[in-house]
C-alpha cells in the first residue's frame, strides 16, 4: 500500500462488551461481545507501518490515539489529541441536491477547531460516478483561496489562552513567538473599517500585521480592548488574521 499514516476504525459498536459505557445512549443497545483483538491488529499493522496512528473510535484506551467529536466543535480545548469530523453537506454519503455548508461557515468552523487545538476532518460523499458535486469543488476552491492568505496561523500552530473572545479566535506559532488573532466576519459578510478585540491587550512595542503581507496595521489599546484599523486595500468577507509579534 505504500506509506500509511492512520488506521481509522469507524463506528464504535464493534468492541469488547466490557468497554461499553452505559451512560452513553447509543452504546446501551450493544449486547454482544465483539472483541476483534485490537492489540493483535495494531501490532501487525505497525510491524509494516512503524509510527502508525490507530483510532478505534469511541473505544477508549491505548488504541484510540485521538478522539473524534462528530458534527460538533468542542467549546473549549480538550486535554488530549482530537479531531472534529464533520460533513460538508448534511449527509456522510452522497445525496442528490444535498445542502452544503457555505465557505463562510466552513472557514469559521476551521478557525474555531484549530483555536481549540484540534484537527478538522471534512467529509464529502462521492456520487454514483465516483465524483463530487460541483458545489463541493467550489467550496474547496474558496477555502483554498482564503488559506492562501490566512494559513499562517492554521498550519503548525497551537492553541493559546484565552482561545477566543467574542468573534476573535487565537492561535500561536509552535515557538510561541507569534500570536494569531482570527477575526470572524459576521453574516453580513462585510468587514468593518475597524475591528475591536474585547478584553485583549498586547505589549506597547508589539508589531501587528495582516497575514499574507508585511505591512503593519495601525492599532491602539482602548482600556482593556485592542482596536485595529483595517487597511483600505483589504476586502474580506469570511475572516481576517492579524499576526502579533
30-39: Cβ within 8 A, 24+ apart: 38/63, 39/63
What pLDDT does 213 receive? 87
CATH architecture of 157-244: Sandwich (2.60)
pLDDT at 203 over 90: yes
C-alpha to C-alpha distance for 67 and 4, rounded to whole angstroms: 19
Query: Tell me: the pLDDT tens digits for 129-140?
Result: 999 999 999 999
Domain range annotation of the chain? 1-65, 157-244
pLDDT per residue over 26-71, tens digit each? 999 999 999 999 999 999 999 999 999 999 999 989 999 999 999 9
Q: How far apart are CA 78 and CA 119, in angstroms?
A: 12
pLDDT, position 214: 85
Chain-centroid distance, C-alpha 112: 6
pTM of the full structure: 0.92
pLDDT of residue 129: 95
Query: What would the pLDDT profile of 148-188 be if each residue is shown by its tens digit?
Result: 999 999 999 999 999 999 999 999 999 999 999 999 999 99
| Secondary structure class of 208 (helix, strand, coil) | strand
Amino acid at each position: 500500500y505504500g506509506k500509511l499514516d492512520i488506521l481509522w476504525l469507524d463506528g464504535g459498536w464493534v468492541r469488547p462488551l466490557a468497554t461499553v459505557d452505559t451512560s452513553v445512549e447509543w452504546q446501551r443497545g450493544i449486547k454482544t461481545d465483539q472483541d476483534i483483538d485490537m492489540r493483535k491488529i495494531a501490532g501487525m499493522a505497525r510491524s509494516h507501518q512503524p509510527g502508525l496512528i490507530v483510532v478505534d473510535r469511541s473505544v477508549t484506551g491505548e488504541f484510540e490515539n485521538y478522539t473524534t467529536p462528530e458534527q460538533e466543535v468542542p467549546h473549549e480545548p480538550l486535554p488530549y489529541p482530537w479531531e472534529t469530523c464533520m460533513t460538508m453537506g448534511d449527509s456522510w454519503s452522497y445525496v442528490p441536491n444535498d445542502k452544503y455548508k457555505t465557505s463562510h461557515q466552513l472557514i469559521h468552523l476551521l478557525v474555531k477547531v484549530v483555536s481549540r487545538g484540534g484537527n478538522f476532518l471534512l467529509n464529502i460523499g462521492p456520487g454514483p460516478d465516483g465524483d463530487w458535486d460541483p458545489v463541493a469543488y467550489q467550496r474547496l476552491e474558496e477555502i483554498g483561496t482564503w488559506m492562501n492568505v490566512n494559513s499562517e496561523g492554521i498550519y503548525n500552530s497551537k492553541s493559546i489562552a484565552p482561545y477566543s473572545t467574542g468573534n476573535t479566535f487565537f492561535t500561536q506559532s509552535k515557538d510561541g513567538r507569534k500570536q494569531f488573532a482570527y477575526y470572524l466576519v459576521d453574516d453580513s459578510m462585510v468587514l468593518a473599517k475597524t475591528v475591536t478585540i474585547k478584553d485583549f491587550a498586547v505589549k506597547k512595542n508589539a508589531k501587528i500585521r495582516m497575514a499574507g503581507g508585511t505591512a503593519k496595521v495601525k492599532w491602539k489599546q482602548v482600556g482593556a480592548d485592542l482596536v485595529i484599523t483595517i487597511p483600505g486595500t483589504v476586502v474580506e468577507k469570511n475572516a481576517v488574521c492579524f499576526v502579533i509579534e
